[in-house]
């Protein structure tokens, strides 16, 4: 069944659920699923509503125009997503392959609703992985002197392929503020630690030195503040003093791959609303 998803947020007021669902009833749409959340601390209201695309008897542009007019009355912030559109994802990598393999396999087996038309890297090492999946691989020799110039080239490549989402699958480069602004809330990064602990480089070594009893990974939207963007997904595993920093890194690989693919799926399935530096995630 094809569907249309609306993601909505606004200041909380009485009657929002009734008024919003009435809009779809009056426009003769069957509501397949409706989820809502009220944040009492910020006095904000969030909704994810899924309607049956079979009931769409007008153009998509007309539907969006009608809802935009309705949304003005309640000062709604909203977005609309059609299930028959397959998002295009660019995967950025450096030298480690575990997250890349996991994403490619899940996309190939349709566990992720997306196309991956290209892989971008700052090293040539993983071209063989791209070749296995018959995906074009673009390698850029990036250094501090040519970073912005190469980023312009990469963004042109992304525009050419109509990329909707960038996934940083252990891409060991810090993107510029301009790049991030151009893809605001459309870049997902995996950090190999349970944020906010051990931000930045070498988290497994620092976790070993600190003697932690759990290690984890965090997938978040990239922002100009390194490793501080809205968190999407996290997971942890228990560890003991008997393990070396290398052991922690090995165990962490599985967590990283799982967390990143879960976060990517949540984004692709339109289950996330971003509010300030937080995420509201509907099941």
Say what the pTM is: 0.92
CA pair distance 25, 8, nearest whole angstrom:
17
The predicted-structure confidence for 120-165, as pLDDT tens digits, reads as follows 999 999 999 999 999 999 999 999 899 999 999 999 999 999 999 9
Q: Residue 100 pLDDT more than 90?
A: yes
Q: Residue 98 pLDDT more than 90?
A: yes
| b (16+ CB within 10 A) / e for 183-197 | bebbbbbbbbbbbee
Q: Residue 203 pLDDT more than 80?
A: no
Q: What is the pLDDT of residue 195?
A: 60
| Count of other CB atoms within 10 angstroms of residue 28 | 9
Q: What are phi and psi of 58, to 5 degrees?
A: -120, 175
Q: What is the pLDDT of residue 209?
A: 80
Specify whether the CB–CB gap between 107 and 116 falls below 8 A. Answer: yes
Domains of the chain: 3-82 (3.30.70.260), 88-281 (3.40.50.170)
Mean pLDDT of all residues belonging to the chain: 93
Catalytic residue among 3, 39, 164, 227: 227
Q: Residue 205 pLDDT more than 80?
A: no
Q: What is the pLDDT of residue 196?
A: 62
Could you tell me the pLDDT band of residue 268, with boundaries at 50, 70 and 90? very high
CA pair distance 127, 122, nearest whole angstrom:
11
CA pair distance 105, 96, nearest whole angstrom:
16
Range of weakest confidence among 55-64, 128-137, 236-245 = 236-245
Nearest residue to 132 via CA among 168, 108, 163: 108
Is 227 among the residues known to form the active site?
A: yes
The predicted-structure confidence for 6-43, as pLDDT tens digits, reads as follows 999 999 999 999 999 999 999 999 999 999 999 999 99
Q: What is the pLDDT of residue 245?
A: 81
Extract the tokens encoding 222: 């990239």
Mean pLDDT of the region 245-266: 91
Could you tell me the pLDDT band of residue 104, with boundaries at 50, 70 and 90? very high
Nearest residue to 236 via CA among 213, 211, 260, 215: 215
CA pair distance 47, 5, nearest whole angstrom:
10
CA pair distance 97, 169, nearest whole angstrom:
8
| β-bridge mates for residue 266, sequence order | none
Q: What is the pLDDT of residue 198?
A: 64
């Amino acid at each position: 069944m094809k569907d249309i998803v609306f993601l909505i947020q606004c200041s909380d007021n009485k009657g929002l659920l009734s008024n919003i669902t009435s809009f779809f009833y009056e426009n003769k749409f069957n509501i397949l699923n409706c989820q809502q959340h009220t944040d009492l601390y910020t006095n904000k209201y969030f909704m994810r509503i899924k309607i049956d695309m079979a009931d769409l008897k007008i153009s998509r542009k007309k539907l969006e125009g009608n809802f935009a007019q309705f949304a003005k009355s309640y000062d709604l912030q909203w977005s609309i997503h059609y299930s028959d559109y397959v998002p295009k994802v660019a995967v950025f990598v450096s030298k480690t392959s575990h997250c890349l393999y996991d994403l490619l396999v899940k996309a190939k087996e349709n566990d992720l609703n997306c196309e991956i038309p290209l892989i971008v890297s700052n090293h040539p090492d993983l071209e063989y992985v791209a070749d296995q999946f018959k995906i074009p691989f673009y390698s850029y020799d990036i250094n501090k002197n040519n970073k912005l110039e190469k980023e312009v080239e990469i963004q042109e490549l992304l525009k050419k392929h109509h990329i909707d989402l960038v996934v940083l699958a252990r891409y060991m480069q810090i993107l510029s503020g301009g790049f991030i602004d151009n893809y605001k809330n459309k870049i997902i990064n995996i950090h190999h630690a349970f944020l906010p602990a051990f931000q930045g480089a070498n988290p497994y070594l620092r976790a070993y030195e600190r003697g932690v009893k759990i290690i984890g990974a965090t997938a978040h939207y990239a922002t100009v503040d390194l490793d501080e963007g809205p968190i999407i997904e996290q997971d942890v595993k228990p560890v003991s003093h008997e393990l070396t920093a290398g052991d922690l890194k090995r165990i962490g690989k599985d967590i990283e791959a799982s967390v990143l693919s879960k976060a990517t799926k949540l984004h692709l399935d339109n289950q996330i609303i971003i509010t300030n530096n937080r995420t509201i995630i509907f099941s």
